[in-house]
Structure formats: structure tokens, C-alpha cells
Amino acid sequence: METLARLEKVILERRNCDPETSYVALLKRDGRPRMARKLGEEAVEAVVAGLSGSDEELVGEAADVLFHLMVLLADREIALDDVLAELDRREGISGIEEKASRESQEETSNAD
Ligand SMILES: N=c1c2ncn([C@@H]3O[C@H](COP(=O)(O)OP(=O)(O)OP(=O)(O)O)[C@@H](O)[C@H]3O)c2ncn1[C@@H]1O[C@H](COP(=O)(O)O)[C@@H](O)[C@H]1O
């Protein structure tokens, strides 16, 4: 996780650099929709690599997804720690159990 914390720091620093020499600054200059689109593109590439690419390709695409997600989080001024805290909160809660409890809450509120 130290790697992601270092990357977060670098992204925050690079946002204010020259877009001619910094990809992070270029994304900032182009705006949040470009950041979001890049994240979407990288996610699709990761899906394709996950289904039919090599391990090496999937690792590369996964790194691209994480990087572009971190750029978008930085733009929204959301700290990596907030995302990690959410993952910590979910620790030990089965996805199946969580979904079932959400569905039963929805049924209760629809019945009201
Ligand atoms: N981890 C990354 C990282 N991962 C991917 N990328 C860049 O993300 C871009 C997107 O990839 P694509 O394959 O879509 O490339 P592309 O076709 O040129 O992109 P588009 O023209 O479609 O936008 C590429 O230019 C990659 O180099 C990254 N750029 C930067 N970092 C980190 O961010 C730091 C700061 O980077 P700069 O701001 O460029 O100094 C670096 O030191 C790294 O630690």
C-alpha cells in the first residue's frame, strides 16, 4: 500500500506542473471528463486483458486502472485513506450477505 500512498503524493505534486512535461498535469488541464473517460477506457482494456490477455497484459492494464483512478480521486480531493477506510469497513462482510440485506431493506422501504 505504500506504493499507492507514494503515487498519491506524486499525483498531487504533478498536478501543478507543466502539461508539456507531465501527464498528470495534462489530464488536469483537460479536465475531469477526460480523466473519467481515460479511467473508463483503461477499465475496458483491463476487462479485455482479463478475459483474453496474458498475465503481463492484465498486470499492465490493472496498473493503468489504478493510476487513472488515483488521478480522478485527487481531482475530487478524495484521499486514498478514505477509500482504504471504506475497504476496512467492509472487511469480513460477505458480498452475498451485504447484497441480501440491501435487498431486504429495499423491499421494506417499497412496502412503506
Ligand atoms: N503510473 C503512472 C502512469 N501509468 C500510466 N501512465 C500514462 O497513462 C497514459 C495513458 O495511456 P494510454 O495507453 O491510453 O496512452 P495514450 O494513447 O498516449 O493516451 P491518450 O492519448 O488516449 O490520452 C500513458 O501516457 C501512460 O504513460 C502513467 N503516467 C504516470 N504515472 C505515474 O505518475 C507520475 C507522474 O507522471 P507525470 O505527471 O507524467 O510526470 C509518474 O512518475 C508515475 O509514477
DSSP secondary structure of the chain: -HHHHHHHHHHHHHTTS-TTT-HHHHHHHH-HHHHHHHHHHHHHHHHHHHHHS-HHHHHHHHHHHHHHHHHHHHHTT--HHHHHHHHHHHTT--HHHHHHHHHHHHHHHHH-
Minimal-distance CA residue to ligand 1 atom 42:
10
CATH number of the domain enclosing 33: 1.10.287.1080
Q: How far is the CA of 27 from the centre of ligand 1 (A)?
A: 9
Q: How far is the CA of 12 from the centre of ligand 1 (A)?
A: 15
| Domain region containing 103 | 2-111
Tally of domains in the chain:
1
Q: How far is the CA of 23 from the centre of ligand 1 (A)?
A: 6
* Ligand 1 atom nearest residue 41's Cα: 14
Query: For residue range 18-33, what is the model confidence (pLDDT) as tens digits?
Result: 999 999 999 999 999 9
Q: Who wins on pLDDT, 64 or 107?
A: 64
Indicate whether 1 pLDDT > 70.
no
pLDDT at 20: 97
Query: For residue range 99-112, what is the model confidence (pLDDT) as tens digits?
Result: 888 788 888 888 87
Looking at the chain, the whole-number percentage of residues with pLDDT higher than 70 is 99
